[in-house]
Amino acid sequence: MRLGFFLREAFRALSRSAAPSLAAMLTILITALVLGVFIPVVQATTGTANQVRSRVVVDVYVKDGATDAQKNELRQRIAGLPNVKSVQYIPKDQALAQMKKQNAQAFALLGSNPLPDSFRVTPRDPGGVNAISDALNGNPPAAMDDVRNRRHDTDRILSATGLVKLVTAGLAALFLLASIALVANTIRLSIFARRREVEVMRLVGATDWFIRWPFVIEGVVVGLMGGALAVLLLLIGKETFVDPLAHRFALLAAPTTISFTLLAVLLLGACVAVSAVGSGVTLRRFLRV
């Protein structure tokens, strides 16, 4: 009986303040859409960035004519450096065979093998790969010819993915604050429109929560409607665009992204929580009970 009364009062307040309620619902809808795209994108880009970082290596090229003793000395020197996880020796014949597999036509006319022997060094922490190169270049062993790493390309990729995360997180935070503000404003207008009813209820002895519940339910309904519409739009976008293109783009088919069911539950929970926070802030500030 009391729950039905609270629901009727909440929906009656929504119909009276339709324009502010619609604005709040649309803002929550946009916020949920941004979060719905942001969460899988962050997971996919983070996974891709970690895969790129795991492939960061240092190639140490050996001089032509270096003796086996000098090569062993170079291997021991590399293995003794900090942050070195593994050292793999790649003979020149093996390197040529690998290059021919990648581009056979480019190496078909070669009369001799132009590639040097090399050591491939895998760091424990990809972020410290430059320290390995600096240590070898600072005091080069006799058998070492050159040191190269792919840190520059990796940094560019990580910078790009970091920028995507930062911009999307900023938009999500902005829309989140806007949603709380609009829900709070909607509840405030509803309280102002019903201020005489609230005064009468207080005079007849209504408890604080008996007065508050309709406003709380009003905010939760606004958030739930906005979240439900966002989930519906995300589902349409997933079925229409993402799933058909997943086999073409590795980022869309990333296996580590969140499942859509769990994403929908999180978005609905976040929308209800945001609306509840907006209602609570307004009730605490403007409803004097």
How does DSSP assign 152-198, residue by residue? HHHHHHHHHHHHHHHHHHHHHHHHHHHHHHHHHHHHHHHHHHTHHHH
Burial class (CB in 10 A: 0-12, 13-18, 19+), 46: middle
Residue identified by tokens 């580590």 is 256
136 and 166 both lie in a single domain: no
101 and 163 both lie in a single domain: no
User: Hey, which bits of the chain come out as E strands?
Assistant: 58-62, 84-90, 118-123, 144-149
What is the rounded average pLDDT of the residues 170-198? 71
171 and 69 both lie in a single domain: no
Whether the predicted pLDDT of 241 surpasses 90: no
Radius of gyration from C-alpha coordinates of the chain: 31
164 and 237 both lie in a single domain: yes
What is the rounded average pLDDT of the residues 4-31? 72
What is the rounded average pLDDT of the residues 67-72? 89
- Element counts in the chain: helices (H) and strands (E): 10, 4
178 and 278 both lie in a single domain: yes
169 and 266 both lie in a single domain: yes
- pLDDT for residue 200: 72
How long is the chain? 289
- pLDDT for residue 196: 72
* Distance, CA of 23 to CA of 182 (rounded, Å): 7
pLDDT digits (tens, 9 = 90+) for 256-283: 677 888 989 988 988 888 777 777 666 6
213 and 275 both lie in a single domain: yes
What's the one-letter identity of residue 176?
A: L
Number of domains composing the chain: 2
280 and 143 both lie in a single domain: no
Q: Which two tokens stand for residue 172?
A: 């999500």
Q: How confident is the model at residue 248 (pLDDT cuts 50, 70, 90)?
A: low
Burial class (CB in 10 A: 0-12, 13-18, 19+), 279: buried
- pLDDT for residue 289: 46
Q: How confident is the model at residue 65 (pLDDT cuts 50, 70, 90)?
A: confident
| Domain C-terminal end among 98, 123, 149 | 149
CATH number at residue 97: 3.30.70.3040
226 and 129 both lie in a single domain: no
Q: How confident is the model at residue 1 (pLDDT cuts 50, 70, 90)?
A: very low
270 and 166 both lie in a single domain: yes
- pLDDT for residue 233: 92
| Domain C-terminal end among 93, 115, 149 | 149
Q: What is the pTM of this model?
A: 0.60
pLDDT digits (tens, 9 = 90+) for 89-136: 998 888 878 777 766 665 666 667 778 889 999 888 877 777 888 888
What is the rounded average pLDDT of the residues 49-62? 77
pLDDT > 70 fraction of the chain, expressed in percent and rounded: 66
Domain span holding position 144: 56-149
Average pLDDT for the chain: 76
- pLDDT for residue 229: 92
> Which whole-number Å values give the CA distances from 58 to 12, 97, 110, 264, in the listed order?
68, 20, 26, 43
| Domain C-terminal end among 149, 172, 205 | 149
- Higher pLDDT: 60 or 220? It is 60
Q: What are the backbone angles phi and psi of residue 148, rounded to the nearest 5°?
A: -140, 145
77 and 191 both lie in a single domain: no
281 and 219 both lie in a single domain: yes
Cβ–Cβ under 8 Å, residues 189 and 181: no
Whether the predicted pLDDT of 286 surpasses 60: no
